[in-house]
Amino acid sequence: MNIITLLLPYQPPWDWQQFHSHFALRAIPGLESLSAASYSRGFMIDGVPGWLQVMPLAGQNALELRCRVTSPAHLDHVEQRVRRMFDLDSEPETIVRHLSRDALLAPLLQRNPGLRLPVAFDPFEQAVRAIVGQQVAVKAAVTIVGRLVQRAGAPIETPQAVGISHLFPTPQAIAEADLTGIGMPGKRVQCLQHFAACIADGRLQLSLQDGSAALIEQLCALPGIGPWTAHYIALRAFGESDAFPASDLGLLKAPVWGAEGIDARRLQLRAEAWRPWRAYAAAHLWHNYSGG
């Protein structure tokens, strides 16, 4: 297996610091490794393990991708996923022009014109994170998912500089794991393992092949998964540009709405004008909420 290096160009503006901050809050020790100027992780494609490292290039509108894969087909797969992960195919001018029609959003877009949608490398992994993260803080969810990785994820050998020790557990591994004492309520454990079993046996296809609305509907039909979780999965697992978890606290309490905030129904109505870029509006509102 050779280490391959690729350049992944993008249309500026694009901000490494946005992605660094996102992953700094969410990186799972052993599964992911983050330095000031690199992001690394392990992965499994067609049952074969590999690893990747992504670095911004000073003075160039491109990222450098280093990865270890076994076949050209796997390389294409990794490249596509990393481009989606770092939202490299976005068209910032088109999005800013559309969303700036809203007078409250316009100043946010002016301050951060290159804000993108950080997306997970693997949709199943992101779905698990979203289910675990229901009604708990990001830090608590990271701790629980970290236990899940250590308990059910397969080990992987990587160079010391990459710093990765485990792969994310497969759907079958999570469905069959003993999750006693992992830090989640019993009902959420049941929800997670039922979801994993549905993916493992093919009852649920985690894809946008039939459109995001169909996937969101299928997810909401599962016990323990509501609209927030389903929309968040569509947004963070696939980079679905119009996904919008309207009941999200960060969206409702963003300072742009004033001290009282806004309720989910009014936000949903206002967001109709933001289609088909509601997820990017959410990114700006989250940035506003976190002090950006």
User: What pTM did the predictor assign?
Assistant: 0.94
pLDDT in tens, 127-184: 999 999 998 999 999 999 999 999 999 999 888 778 899 999 999 999 999 999 999 9
Strands 48-56 and 62-68: antiparallel
Give the model's pLDDT for residue 162: 80
pLDDT at 1: 57
* Interatomic CA distance for residues 73 and 70, integer angstroms: 9
Q: Where are the alpha helices (DSSP H) in the chain?
A: 16-26, 72-85, 92-99, 106-111, 123-132, 138-152, 171-176, 186-200, 212-220, 227-238, 249-252, 264-271, 278-289
Q: Would you kindly state where each structural domain of the chain is located, as residue ranges? A: 3-107+120-204
pLDDT at 292: 61
CATH of 3-107+120-204, one of 3.60.20.10, 3.30.390.10, 3.40.630.10, 3.30.310.20: 3.30.310.20
Residues of the chain with pLDDT under 70: 1, 292
**Three-state DSSP state, 75:** helix
Distance CA 99, CA 92 (A): 11
**Is residue 40 within a helix (H) or strand (E), and if so which, with residue range?**
strand 38-45
CA distances from 255 to 87, 114, 116, 277, 290 (A): 26, 20, 20, 20, 9
What would the two tokens of residue 173 be? 């591994």
Q: What are phi and psi of 88, to 5 degrees?
A: -80, -15
Tokens of 110: 């002016």
* Residues β-bridged to residue 42: 51
